[in-house]
Amino acid sequence: MMSRSVRRSPSSALGRRALGYTNVWELDGGMIAWEQAGYQLVQRPQS
């Protein structure tokens, strides 16, 4: 799971850890930085 911006990422990561997830990462800059670096986003089709 990735957050769109940096603001939500830390709280999202903490929440996942609180639920017991152990392989949790925070991406510096969120999805915005991911896209700007030229990486592709894969989205599920709307149902």
Residue 20 near residue 26 (C-beta atoms within 8 A): no
**CA gap 17, 20 in Å, rounded:** 5
Q: How much is the pLDDT for 4?
A: 64
The pTM score is 0.50
Give every CB contact of residue 6 below 8 A, 6+ residues apart in sequence. Answer: 28, 29, 30
CA angle centred on 14, ends 16 and 9, rounded to 5°: 95
Q: Between residues 15 and 36, which one has the greater pLDDT?
A: 36
Q: What is the DSSP letter of 46?
A: P
Domain boundaries, the chain: 1-42
Q: How much is the pLDDT for 2?
A: 60
Per-residue pLDDT of 11-28, as tens digits, reads 777 888 899 999 988 778
Q: Percent of the chain scored above 70 by pLDDT?
A: 79
